[in-house]
Every structure is written in C-alpha cells, then in structure tokens.
Homo-oligomer: A and B are copies of this chain.
Amino acid sequence: MGRIGDTEPGNVAERIIREVYTLCRENRAGELADYIPELAAVEPDEFSLCVATSDGHVYRAGNADTVFTIQSISKPLTYGLALADHGVEAVARKIDVEPSGEPFNEISLDPLTERPRNPMINAGAITSASLIRGADQAERFERLRRCYSTYAGRELTLNEDVYASEARTGHRNRAIGHMLRSFDIVEGDPDLAVDLYFRQCSINVTSRDLALMAATLANNGVNPLTRQRALAPELVERVLSVMTSCGMYDGAGDWIAEVGLPAKSGVGGGVLAVLPGQIGIAVHSPRLDSHGNSVRGVQACRELSRTLELHFMHVTRAGRSAIRTSFTVADMQSRQRRNAAEMATLATYGNRARIYELHGDLLFAGAETAVREIAEHGTDLEALVVDLRRVDEVSDVARRMIDAQHAELAERGCQAAVVDPGGLLGHTTSALTPTAESGRVFTDLDVALEWCEQVLLDRHCTDERSPETVTLTTHPLLAALPADQLERVTATLEPRTHARGETIVRRGDPATGIFLILAGRVSNLIADGTGVTHRISTLSAGMTFGEMTTLTGGTALGDIRADTAVRLAVLSPAAFDALTASAPQLKSTLLERLAAGAYAQLATASRSVALRGAVL
C-alpha cells in the first residue's frame, strides 16, 4: 500500500478515511474494559470512524450506528455545563486544570491546592457533576441528557443496564465522592453527585453522534446540522483547552506532539477529537491501551492528523499583511462621469485619496501589519478608504485598531471611510469623531470612490465643476451647431421631467430615443445573473443616454433611473431617422458626436476592466 489517499481518483477525503480505517482495522492490540460485565461483553473488533465537517457532512467508515456508552467522553460536556451554570471563576475554585500524570481513577487531590487536578479525571468529573443545577436528581440528569443531545443533534437515551452495573460496582467512585465531600469540594450529598456521574457515563451514543458532538465544539458550540447552541464560545475555548492538556489521560504530551488536537477518550472505546473551526472526528473501537484509550482510536487520529494535516501547530504559511492591494483615485475612478476640469483635478490630486483593500480574517497579527503599513504610507493622504468586502471576520482588537486609526487620521485632516457591506466593524454609522464626514461607512466601493473624488474636488477644483444645468444650446451634443441645424433639431425635441427614483428606461425597452440631460442625475443600472443590481455609470447635465438602442435597434441592457429630479430633452427614433434624408450633414455630425461619446465611455469601461481585473 502506497501513501494513504495517493492513487486513484474519487472523493479523496472519503478514500483517505476509508484507507485509515482499513489500516487501523488490522490492529488487534489492546484489551476490553472489564470492570463491569456490560463493557466486557461487547464485540472487541467493532470499529467505526466518522469525520463531521462544520457544515454537518459526516464521512463514515465501518458501522457508524453501533451503540455504545459515552463513558468519560461525557466529562468535557458536563464540565462545560458546570461552567455555564456557575462561571469559570467559581468552577476554578473547585477543579484545577493541570495534567495529572496519574491514573484517571486516583483517589487523591492535588496536595497543594486540595482540589481535583482536572475535570478529566474521575475526581474532577464527579465534582463537575455535583455542580449541575437542578431542583432534584431527575432534573439534573435531564439537563445533562438534553445538553448532550444538543451536541449530538438528536435525542440521546440512558443505557439502563450499564447504569445499573456502574451503580452496583462503583465503589471506587463512591470513595472519591466521599473524599471530595470531606474536602468540601463536593458540597451536597456526594452519592448524588456520583450517581449523576454514573448516569452521564451510561448515555448511549454512536460514533456518528460523537463526530457531530466534536463538530459542534469545532463550530464554536453550535451544532452544524440543527444550528442549536450547545455551549457559549468562550466556554468552548476553555473546554478545548482542558481537553488539550488533560483529555488523553497521561498520554497527553505524546498526543499533543503526535496528533495535536483537543480530544477525549472513554473506556467504552470512543475517542472524540476536535480541529477548532474545522472538523470533528470520532472513532469507536473497544480495545484499550494501558492508558485506557482506544488503541485504534489513537492510531486512527494520528493517521488522520498526519494525512489531513490537522495538527494545531501546523502552519502552512507565516502571517502576512491583511492588505491585499491598494490604489489611488488617480488609478481608478468611480462610475460618476466627470467633466474635463474635474478629470484634470483628479489626475493631479488623485494620489491623495487611497483605497486599501483588506482580505482574510482580521486577527491581531494581520490587522497590525495593515494598520502599520497604512500609517507609514498614508501620511500625505486627504481621503482614505478601507475596503472590507473581502474580509471574512474581524476580531475585536482589529476592530478597535481600525477605528482608532481612522480617528487619528481625521484629527490630522485626512477623511477616512470604510466599505463594509457586512457591518463587520459593527457600526452602520461611525461615531469616531465629532465631524460627521469622517468615519463614513459605505456598502459599495464605487460610492466610496465617488466620495473620495468629492473630497478632492471640493478642495482642489472649486471653480470649474460640472454645471448643475445646461441649456439646449450649451448641451455638448448640440453646442456650436449652425443656427439652422440647431433650430431643426430643437424643433423635434420633446421636453420631459422625472421625479427622483423614477425609472426612465427599463431593461428590455426597445429604441426609446436619444435623451439629452439638461438638469439632474440618472444612473445606469444592470442586474447580474444572481439578480444583484450594479451601477454601471451615473450621468449628469450635459450628458446623453438612449443612443445605443436608437442606433443599434436593440433593447435596453439595464434600467436608467432618476437619482434626482431630472429635466430631459428627447429626440425620438422617428425624428432621428427622418434626418437621414432631410439633413444628412446634421445627422452625420450628431452621429460623430454620439460615437465619440460612446468611445469615451468604452475607454473608461476598458480602463475599469483592466484595473478591476488587477485590483478587484
């Protein structure tokens, strides 16, 4: 057999899991637990292996529906519920979190702290059980059973035989209970705590259940199939920490070095392992090694960790800056069309407005590098945009770092904004500084670009801005026409007005004429395959639309919508056609001007495609 999963096609994940299963099935080392007859009576070569993804897909090898008792794998779950019932501090006063280096059923406490060394040995687990809230024993057990069921995503039940057997023979655990009572670690009736512990260990599970429990822990405490929360995220962190240091009895160091996953085993032959944020693994095979861990369980986890590269100290790459790219308004402009004076201003001053596109998860290290890079290179900026559209998650510290940097930039006169359609920074409007202009939050890069342009134009282009209105004689399509030609055209133009928000041309409309904008702004909107609408361009007084359908006889590709109240003059298709015979010179002039306009738009679109190809 070659390297696992190396050869034929097919689902590699499935194949690797099957191959690990086949490899480990050969291993018949180890002995059954035999302290109660029910555990000694199981089929010793029973074996199943499940991997559950954080979207709830379960890969299975072997009989994943074989029922066995959860045994010690219950310990982290009960510990988690105790933490939820009392808080981390209160539980820490009862149970330490140190690896013990001693057998799991030792009747002793840490000699210095006089507490159970950790929640994964029996003394700590019985203490956890004693902390479960409930009016009576039945309610306490029902709370535990329901909690476990939430992890597994189905209703789990008690194995009465195993429970009866545990209860009949569990003198050592009763001794531990009374020892705990004598040190006031267990405060109520120790027999009740021990009884609850026997019950929790006797809950029936399958390896599919354990894999989903592990995936729930991997998924920050939420069951990936039912979406029900089993444990708060901060408690998941603590439970996984304790599983890391103490989960595999006194084989913890070897486990960390070889497997590198928080895990818990049980004498029923189960092993549960968690790759936080990613997957849950479960194995069931009843033969145990000298530590009390399933032989095949340990071997299968080791093989999976190696083959699937799951070890938590495995780093595929070292940290990198969260900045994916940056560019200035001189490199790329918004879809708001500008006049020549404005274009010239943006060409000159465009490098004073910079857009930083971040990506990945913004944890401390990535955010730190990004903020430092922005601080180093951003000293001459007048406007700055941080684009978070490609960021997946923002940690709390990263959020504060970005907010603080924006406030600081605002103080020295650089206006800052974010593109944050997902609300990752947690503020729809920012209150970083008293000025309303800083700390703006946009949902769209194009609008943010337009805002940057506005900031620069307001400062550097005060005289020659695009006119708010034009007349028929100053509209560029008609400007400087001979008087007779101008008169001939204007006679055929129809005036139109639209209120803000009205749709002037609808996608699919046939040739609707050539529209000259005399006042106001309109946007050209196109929907993509998924139904999301994109602004292709924004047009204002002195510009023209509708020429495309009129010239090509096609239908409108998108909607034209009034962004403000607009005043238009419309040259109907019939009137335009009539010019062919009656005034070919005039028509030629208009066509030349329209074509020039089309090419100017095409040039902008081409630049945008080139840059967006590189940048976006």
Please give the residue numbers on chain A whose beta carbons come within 8 Å of chain B beta carbons, in ascending order: 5-6, 8-13, 15-16, 53-55, 57, 96-102, 117-118, 218-220, 222, 224, 233, 236-238, 240-242, 244-246, 250-254, 256-257, 260, 262, 275-279, 307-321, 327, 330-332, 359-361, 363-366, 368-369, 371-372, 375, 390, 392-397, 400-401, 404-405, 407-408, 411, 446, 524, 526-530, 532, 534, 536, 547-548, 551-552, 554, 557-558, 580, 584-585, 587-588, 591-592, 594-596, 598-603, 605-616
Contacts and interface: CB of A to CB of B under 8 A. Distances in A.
A588 B394 CA distance: 58
B614 A9 contact: no
A359 B240 CA distance: 28
A360 to B, nearest CB: 7
A203 to B, nearest CB: 25
Given A5-B400, A220-B315, A330-B529, 14 more contacts: A12-B397, A100-B101, A118-B253, A218-B319, A240-B313, A241-B256, A244-B313, A278-B319, A320-B392, A527-B610, A528-B611, A534-B610, A580-B585, A580-B588
A612 B609 contact: yes
B557 A13 contact: no
12 contacts: A8-B404, A11-B371, A11-B375, A12-B371, A13-B401, A53-B365, A97-B256, A98-B251, A99-B101, A279-B368, A536-B610, A552-B599
A421 B425 CA distance: 33
B97 A253 contact: yes
Contacts of A405: 9, 11-12
A75 to B, nearest CB: 15
Contacts of A16: 397
Contact of A317 (B15, B240, B393, B596): B393
A523 to B, nearest CB: 13
Contacts of A366: 278
Given A11-B372, A219-B318, A606 B606 contact: no
Contact of A253 (B242, B529, B532): B242
A262 B9 contact: no
Contacts of A310: 364
Given A397-B5, A400-B12, A401-B13, A250 B98 contact: yes
Given A364-B310, A371-B13, A584-B584, A552 B220 contact: no
A42 to B, nearest CB: 28
A256 B245 CA distance: 7
- In the complex, the 8 A-B pairs of residues with the closest C-beta atoms, listed nearest first: A278-B365, A9-B408, A98-B253, A101-B101, A605-B605, A277-B315, A54-B319, A591-B591
> Most chain-B Cβ atoms within 10 A of its Cβ — which of A277, A611, A616?
A277
Nearest to A8: B404
B603 A548 contact: yes
A541 B338 CA distance: 36
A548 B599 contact: yes
Contacts of A552: 595-596, 599-600
How many identical chains are in the complex? 2
Q: Which one of A240, A242, A250 has the greatest number of beta carbons of chain B within 10 Å? A: A240
Given A16-B397, A392-B317, A602 B603 contact: no
A254 B98 contact: yes
Contacts of A224: 318
A405 B536 CA distance: 38
Nearest to A589: B580
Contact of A598 (B327, B588, B599): B599
Nearest to A551: B595
Nearest to A306: B397
Contact of A609 (B117, B361, B407, B536): B536
Contacts of A219: 318-319
Contacts of A600: 552
Given A54-B365, A315-B220, A319-B53, A606 B536 contact: yes
B101 A614 contact: no
B595 A584 contact: no
A330 B528 CA distance: 11
A527 B13 CA distance: 42
A598 B224 CA distance: 52
A316 B393 contact: yes
A395 B529 contact: no
Contacts of A587: 588
Contacts of A250: 98
A360 B363 contact: no
Contacts of A554: 599, 603
A4 to B, nearest CB: 10
Given A96-B253, A375-B11, A599 B551 contact: yes
Contacts of A368: 13, 53, 279
A99 B588 contact: no
B606 A395 contact: no
Contacts of A54: 318-320, 365
A433 B102 CA distance: 55
A588 B578 CA distance: 13
A260 B117 CA distance: 18
B609 A605 contact: yes
Contact of A98 (B252, B599, B611): B252
Nearest to A614: B528
Contact of A526 (B320, B407, B610): B610
